[in-house]
Structure 1
């Protein structure tokens, strides 16, 4: 299955941010939208960074409460691993495992079109396993 297929089963909207946001604003947006990462984009929706809950925890652990006033650009990951609509679930799983992250932005012709989380991947894999088990039960019942 491809990333594009997964997007058809979920809300393809992506909550984004601007690198000039403060860490406090990032925290508010993450909490408001109940998400684990905020994709930072420019005015053309090109991905310029990403900041996750883990990043925020690290920022506060190292800088204390005063770090909440820091711009996100100081702490976001600038070299963002992305995928495209034709990538397979296996491709995305490999990127997540290798990079040790839980969110991968999806780009099409350089423009942000979605995001895949580890939860989306697990949900897809569980549905796939259930489908295969149902097919096996059907096969056995008719044999």
Structure 2
């Protein structure tokens, strides 16, 4: 049975640093710096996902808007059409989504609300742990009389 997103969140936790659409880019950048992260989902007051924004978006914004960017709201740069997953999605399917969409972070949605965030690193780590477990199990099976 393939691992589900729920298992990754159980291990890593479901605490997610978020931004809000009206927050300034300067405030958002400080949030990324303080938490040592590269992207955050953007949510409304009811914790519904409205977008996602990353360091790359800020870099692009600097080129497009110059210093004025710092006072602009997050909604200026955020990506509004976001690929998401659900708690019971298979991690193989999530890995395929990450690869096809060329993204690094996938918000996890349950009953319309943000309940977690998984990254390409989370998925790869889980797959490596599963592969190592299989190798160990096979070695044990082969060497056990």
- Please list, as runs of the form range in 1=range in 2, the aligned pairs for 1:1-143 lying within 5 A after superposition: 1-142=3-144
The CA distance in 1 between the partners of 2:19 and 2:131, in whole Å, is 36
Task: Give the C-alpha shift of residue 62 in structure 1.
Answer: 2.5
Report the alpha carbon displacement of residue 20 of structure 1 after superposing the two structures with TM.
0.5
* C-alpha deviation, 1:60, in angstroms: 1.4
Query: Secondary structure of the residue that 1:113 maps to in structure 2?
Result: strand
How many residues matched? 143
Deviation string for 1:93-113 (max 9, x for gaps)? 111111111000001010110
TM-score, normalization by structure 2:
0.94
Unaligned runs of at least 5 residues, structure 2: none
* 3-state DSSP of counterpart to 1:138: helix
- Per-residue CA deviation, residues 120-141 of structure 1 (Å, 9 max, x unaligned), is 1111011111101101110121
Moved over 2 A (4+): 61-66
The C-alpha deviation readout for 1:48-98, integer Å capped at 9, x for no partner, is 010011111111132223212211101100111110001010111111111
Return the alpha-carbon distance in structure 2 between the equivalents of residues 68 and 95 of structure 1: 32
State how far apart, in whole Å, the 2-side matches of 1:98 and 1:25 are: 31
Unaligned runs of 5+ in 1: none
Q: Distance in 1 between matches of 2:143 and 2:58?
A: 53
